[in-house]
Structure 1
Amino acid sequence: MAYETKALFRDDAYLSTAEGVVVAINERGGIVLDQTNFYATSGGQPGDIGHFERADGSAIQIAATVTGETKNEIIHIPGEGQAMPEIGEKLVLHVDWPRRYRLMRMHTACHLLSVICPFPITGAAVGEEESRVDFDLPDASFTRENVTERLMEMIRENTPVTTRWISDEELAANPGLIKSKNVRPPMDSGRIRLVVIGEDGAVDSQPCGGTHVSETQEVGEIHIGKIEKKGRENRRFRIRFGSVPLF
């Protein structure tokens, strides 16, 4: 049986603490709640870790968060040897915020990179220290230095980052919103979440269920660490925190 969890992070990525009630524990010991602020692994972004606080003050450490039979079923995986809650128990949910915030900054940087390189995306992975975005990119004129410079220009402009929802029909009428070459957003729920950068999407709009910062300045210092050739027309850009190393 699939359960539906209200995903609080979709409307407020900054909700580091929330409350949830246990509705199920699956056969593998995964905890399903009525609602959660824990992001589940999807779209190249890792799921959250953290802990659940019980009424007696004890903690259940959460080692991973994944989706179940559907994207709307969110399963929290306890660490080894953790006590299990009871069905109906109310918990206080604490996301590992420093880790989540780094992922939010990185994910936003990946969106900015897709503006600088307006080519089909063939793969992506968001990480705490390094992220990668692969483009179907025949043009080899992009360099680490010029892409980094353009990224930092966009970050310093401090453009707002927001979300909005559109219908399946609106997405079908605007196929250019989809940047991924191989993956299409799910279109069976009746609505699609867009991440919008700039007023009315002046910088970018694309379907995404991930978590992002609210303005580009929060991304901070970032650079392209490497551009790798992964095929005749495929380039992998590696994004790293910090300024470009001197050596």
Structure 2
Amino acid sequence: RLLGATKPFLGEMVHTVRELMGGAYPELLEPSASRVPEIVLSEEKRFGQTLDVGLRKLEEEFQRLGSTQKVEAGRVMGVFQGEDAFKLYDTYGLPLDFMLDASRDMGIRFDQTGFEKAMQEQRTRARASWKGTHKESANPAFTKLAETFKTEPGFYFGTCAKDCRIEAIIVKAGAVSQLKTGESGEVVLDRTAIYAESGGQISDTGAFYDSSESQVLAEVSGAYYPVAGLVAHRVTAKEALRIGDRVTVIADAERRSRVMRNHTGTHLVHAALRNILGPHVKQAGSLNAPDRLRFDFSHFAPVDAEELRDIEQQVNEEVRLNTELETNVTSLDEALASGALAFFGDKYPEHNVRVVTIPDPHAPRGFYSKELCGGTHVKRVGDIGVVKIVSEESVAAGVRRIEAVTGIGALDHFQQQANVLASVAKQLNVGEDAVLAAVEKLTLTTRQLEKQLADQRRKGALNQLDELVAKAQTIKGTKVVVGQVEGLDRDAIRQLVDSLRQKLGSGVVVLGQAENGKVSLIAGVTKDLTAKVHAGKVIQTLAKQVGGTGGGRPDLAEAGGKDTTALNSTLGGVPALLEPLL
């Protein structure tokens, strides 16, 4: 920036680096590396935007300190307080080295100690905030129980587990021996068929029954891991529950099936994204719920419509293959060496990791997807039915999100879309296959009408031209046109001001309009008078009187306001405002 370079250039340098270093590093010439220049260009543009905002704020800060011009070496113009500098760093992303260099060039002392203190305070606040928003620390009773006990996961084998023993009951006050009818608490069993929320998959819901499965003992609203290996069931007792009781645990099978279809669908979408967009795609979060799947992934640009179609097509081709999923438990090293991908945010033990594989006899490595995963999945890929992508959007810089539906959820989506199409066709009085043509025709007609309306408004503005000129005042030998107009859009008002300036030859124009509860003001000054009358400063003064803000160039400026009742008095005061300036 100091050398005057404002356009991105690093992306172009990537091409040269690839050519020069491709011999030593062949991976630079692989097709997947062809996206690197785009990624660099995108990041450089984003950084440039951040830098522009930050530098403007820095200049404002230096103005406040007394000067924006370079000074003689060694001369100290003031102190750039560390707290203020950190605000630019934290809020506007201005790099510390930029601020240090700029302060040095300006002869302003930089408060490094204050900056570091502010940085430390922010880290402390961030840690406190993280602790506050993260799930609550485990109840000491769970921690103590986990030292000698682990819950046996039965959810991989079905949705029912019989003869499960209640090992602990925890309420807010701590561990208790029983839960009375109507009370809520958290129950730990020796075995469970309820999947506990983890790895992006939400927990099961269900109930505790007696041994005959005819009487409900408790409703289960969810489950989680308070500590590793221990499943806590959130329950509301329908009958008294006591430590040592034996219960039958039944999860909601239909709900589980929907979640399983979406979870396996997530694996398919992940693999398709990597195949079509490139291996740079990494999971950045996921949600596998009964009604939908959500997958966040690293990618530098929006996924276009053609790419989305390819992803959806490839996923559903795998669904139609209907291969049987494979699940095995192995060491972490062996899993990764076999090509398995690890999920974002998950922590894995060195041994006994679970690997879920979706085979594909046509794939070079014999599988379409292979991931470390502790979730529940369909038996065969065809059980998913169909995968339909319903949205793709940005959730953060460099992170995209895809949402999709499967199975009955996809059917619901298709039926909803069909109903919308049928309704639109009925409104247009055409067949469903003719809806697009009818909409295009209506759009064209609307644009033509809008153009005609704009032309009429411009003609209306020009019709007011002579009337406004006739009402022109002369202040100290200068012609001044002040007036209120009606029914004009912003472009028409600008054109009217330009026409008035041309008509006057030399003069000042101030117009106002009240419409839909809002005030529009515009001021125009001919070039020969801008040394005396600055349109931007005039409009700023007038904007305050109508409860708004504005600004602009010396020859043309605009403002908006909310107080329509003040427009007449504001325009009436324009001559008095201009007289001292002329």
- TM-score normalised by structure 1 residue count: 0.88
Contact 1:185 1:207 in 2 (8 A): no
Select 1:178's aligned residue among 310, 316, 341.
341
Residue number in structure 1 paired with 2:325: 161
Residue 195 of structure 1 aligns with which residue? 356
Instruction: Kindly provide the CA deviation profile for residues 55-108 of structure 1, in whole angstroms up to 9, marking residues without a partner as x.
Output: 4742111111111211x10111113x5334221211111111110110001100
- Distance between the aligned counterparts of 1:177 and 1:209, measured in 2? 13
- Which residue of structure 2 aligns with residue 91 of structure 1? 247
Q: Is the 8 A contact 2:161 2:192 kept in 1?
A: yes
Alpha-carbon contact 2:302-2:393 (below 8 Å) kept: no
Other-structure match for 1:16? 159
Shift of residue 218 of structure 1? 0.3
Higher strand share: 1
Q: Distance in 2 between matches of 1:139 and 1:88?
A: 56
Structure 1 unmatched runs, 5+: none
The residue type paired with residue 384 of structure 2 is V
Q: Structure 1: how far apart are the matches of 2:291 and 2:323?
A: 23
Match of 1:5 among 123, 146, 151: 151
- The alpha-carbon deviation at position 202 of structure 1 amounts to 1.3
Point out which structure has higher relative CO (alpha carbons under 8 A, 6+ apart).
Answer: 1
1:210 aligns with 2:375: yes
1: CA distance, partners of 2:327 / 2:206: 25
Cα deviation for residue 41 of structure 1 reads 0.5
* Separation in 1, partners of 2:335, 2:380: 24
Aligned-partner residue type, residue 47 of structure 1: S
Task: Work out the CA distance in 2 between the residues paired with 1:137 and 1:51.
Answer: 41
SS in structure 1 opposite 2:255?
Answer: helix
Deviation at 1:212, TM superposition (A): 0.2
Structure 1 residue 177: deviation in Å?
2.4
**Counterpart of 1:63?**
221
For residue 171 of structure 2, what is the aligned residue in structure 1? 27
**What is the alpha-carbon distance in structure 2 between the residues aligned to residue 154 and residue 233 of structure 1?**
28
Say which one has the larger Rg: 2
Which is further off, 206-215 or 161-170?
A: 161-170
**8 A contact 2:206–2:252 mirrored in 1:** yes
Separation in 1, partners of 2:304, 2:230? 40
Task: Give the number of equivalent residue pairs.
Answer: 239
> Is 1:50–1:63's contact at 8 Å kept on the other side of the alignment?
yes
User: Which residue pairs with 2:471 in the alignment?
Assistant: none
- Distance in 2 between the 1:128 and 1:167 partners? 31
Query: Where do 5+ consecutive residues of structure 2 fail to align?
Result: 1-143, 173-184, 275-280, 422-582
Look up the match of 1:43.
199
CA-to-partner distance for each residue in 1:165-188, whole Å, 9 max, x for gaps? Answer: 1113324656x52343x4243225
What amino acid is aligned across from residue 165 of structure 1 in structure 2?
V
Q: C-alpha separation between the residues in 1 aligned to 2:332 and 2:321?
A: 32
Give the whole-Å Cα distance in 2 for the aligned partners of 1:55 and 1:133: 40
CA distance in 2, matches of 1:185, 1:165: 16
What is aligned with 2:282? 120
Paired residue type of 1:50: G
> Percent of aligned pairs with the same residue?
26
TM-score, with structure 2 as normaliser = 0.39
Which residue number in structure 2 is paired with residue 131 of structure 1?
293
- Aligned to 1:78, which of 232, 235, 254? 235
Q: CA offsets per residue over residues 112-151 of structure 1, 9 Å max, x none?
A: 0011011200111111111110111235455343322222
Aligned-pair RMSD on alpha carbons? Answer: 2.2
2:199–2:346 Cα contact (<8 Å) kept? no
- Aligned letter for 1:208? C
* Contact 1:161-1:197 at 8 Å conserved across structures: yes
Asked if the contact 2:193/2:251 (under 8 Å) is kept, the reply is yes
Matched letter for residue 92 of structure 1: T
Match of 1:242 among 410, 413, 418: 410
Report the CA distance between 1:238 and its aligned residue: 0.5
Of the three residues 244, 267, 276, the one matched with 1:111 is 267
Alignment partners' CA distance in 1, 2:286 and 2:238: 32
Query: SS of the residue aligned with 2:241?
Result: coil
2:287 and 2:349 map into 1 onto residues whose CA distance is: 22
Deviating above 6 A after TM superposition, structure 1's stretches of 4 or more consecutive aligned residues are none
Task: Give the secondary-structure state (helix, strand or coil) at the position aligned to 1:26.
Answer: strand
Distance 2:380 2:301 in 1: 30
The separation in 2 between residues aligned to 1:22 and 1:184, in whole angstroms, is: 29
- Contact 1:120 1:179 (C-alpha < 8 Å) held by counterparts: no
Distance 1:184 1:236 in 2: 19
Amino acid at match of 2:169: I
